[in-house]
Amino acid sequence: MKIKHRVVVFPDIHFPNEDKKAFACALNVLEKLKPNAFLLLGDFADGESVSHWQWSKKKRPPTEYQLPSIYREIEQVNAGLDKIDKVLDKIKCKKKIVKCTFAFY
């Protein structure tokens, strides 16, 4: 049987709290396998900055107080996604599928 298509799936990365070594290894796998398609299977953002758990024992501050940490987390998530895009562009992977779900712990 001849393999016609290769798909690499990354589940549950949880940027910016990803396992750095595992993520670096996964990027290397992408470079070596050169898949035809890539699937980012949800929970790629941790959502810690907007989680209700951090305010469970105290009063939630106004949104404008929370915005700096939210923006910082968004920047970190985007930086992680940019690393994936860089490798996918390098290997000329045309099909990129992102299932958007978030953890919000």
- Residue at 39: amino acid letter: L
- Residue 52 confidence (pLDDT): 80
- Residue 103 confidence (pLDDT): 52
- Residue 55 confidence (pLDDT): 81
Integer Cα distance of 7 and 96 in angstroms: 10
- Residue 49 confidence (pLDDT): 86
pTM to 2 decimal places: 0.86
Whose structure tokens read 């929970």?
43
Low-confidence ranges of the chain (pLDDT < 70): 101-105
Residue among 65, 19, 18 nearest 46 (CA):
18
